[in-house]
Amino acid sequence: MTRTPLMAGNWKMNLNHAEAVHLVQKLAWLLSDKRHDYGKVEVAVIPPFTDLRSVQTIVDGDRFSLKYGAQDVSAHASGAYTGEISAGMLAKLGCSYVVVGHSERRQYHAETDEIVNAKAKAALGEKITPIVCVGEGLEVRQAGEHVPYTMAQVEGSLAGLSKKQVAGLVIAYEPVWAIGTGEVATPDDAQEVCAAIRGQIRESFGDEAADAVRVLYGGSVKAANVAGIMAKADVDGALVGGASLEADEFGGICRFYDMPVLP
């Protein structure tokens, strides 16, 4: 089965709404460049909540089908949850995606697999595709436990989802030690865990889900290293942090098929 690659730019807590407009306009202009076949790849930006309305306005008038989404969502539909944003609110803003279980949420906000699972279900209930993040820290990697550790996160985060729901999901493997450190995992490191994730999906949810689910790699992806990572069979795209804040750099990542594979 052919899976459409997805390049998702997670801006994290960067760029106010005016800066967001500037970046998205430049990105939309780059992506409309007919010299490049950007049609081969799906591109999404994941700005802070406060930028979503502005991004929606630009994307509505854009000729390239740029997608966008949010960095988090409440597990609750509505009510007394001060500071939270519901999936219904995100759907109303036209969000296609929402990141759930990013390692920074797991680390700084004590998000467990149960919470991530509830958030993924809330998103799916509003027809928003969750980008479910998993991945190990440095100590786990050094102990050689990265595959079982990450598989346990996958199991907990996807508990109770249907085969069809899993087929439509995006899972992002982000080794925590490679996030924002410049320490990129090798393409073989990325492939090892992305393949294990697909293998686990095959076992738990069947062939159709395993062949359709998109598994991204995230962690210090740049235009210069993206081609080697994307050459791997089980890597279907990238969740990009720092490099997504620069239109030219992110545009280069989206054009991974034109980039050289580093030795």
Residue from 5, 69, 219, 228 in contact with ligand G3H (CB under 6 A): 219
180 contributes a contact to ligand G3H by CB under 6 A: yes
| Start-to-end CA span in the chain (Å) | 28
Give the Å distances, CA to CA, from 50 to 13, 123, 141, 145, 162.
10, 19, 35, 38, 32
242 contributes a contact to ligand G3H by CB under 6 A: yes
- Beta carbon nearer to ligand G3H, 19 or 211: 19
Residue from 179, 190, 229, 253 in contact with ligand G3H (CB under 6 A): 179
Instruction: Give the side-chain half-sphere CA count within 13 A for 141.
Output: 14
Per the listing, tokens 């949810």 go with 205
241 contributes a contact to ligand G3H by CB under 6 A: yes
Residue among 194, 210, 150 at smallest CA distance from 186:
194
Measure the CA–CA gap between 224 and 240, rounded to whole angstroms.
13
Site for ligand G3H in 86-145 (CB under 6 A): 102
The stretch among 13-21, 51-59, 189-197, 219-227 that binds ligand G3H (CB under 6 A) is 219-227
CB of residue 27 to ligand G3H, shortest distance in Å:
16
With contact defined as beta carbons under 8 Å apart, do 78 and 44 qualify? no
Residue among 172, 203, 199 at smallest CA distance from 9:
172
Question: How many Cβ atoms from other residues are within 10 Å of residue 211's Cβ?
Answer: 14
225 contributes a contact to ligand G3H by CB under 6 A: no
10 contributes a contact to ligand G3H by CB under 6 A: yes
Alpha helices by DSSP H, 126-177: 138-142, 146-157, 163-167
The stretch among 34-42, 113-121, 137-145, 235-243 that binds ligand G3H (CB under 6 A) is 235-243
Catalytic residues: 102, 174
- Per residue, the 3-state secondary structure of 87-119, as one string, reads HHHHHHCCCCEEEECCHHHHHHCCCCHHHHHHH
The stretch among 60-68, 90-98, 138-146, 172-180 that binds ligand G3H (CB under 6 A) is 172-180
CB of residue 140 to ligand G3H, shortest distance in Å:
17
Q: Which residues are annotated as a binding site?
A: 10-12, 180, 220, 241-242
- Beta carbon nearer to ligand G3H, 132 or 243: 243
218 contributes a contact to ligand G3H by CB under 6 A: yes
Residue from 116, 210, 213, 240 in contact with ligand G3H (CB under 6 A): 240
**Which amino acid, residue 214?**
R
Q: How many residues bind ligand G3H (CB under 6 A)?
A: 14
Going by the DSSP 8-state scheme, the letter that residue 178 receives in this structure is G
Residue from 44, 122, 201, 239 in contact with ligand G3H (CB under 6 A): 239
Alpha helices by DSSP H, 32-86: 52-60
State the residues that interact with ligand G3H by CB under 6 A.
Answer: 10, 102, 174, 179-180, 218-221, 239-243
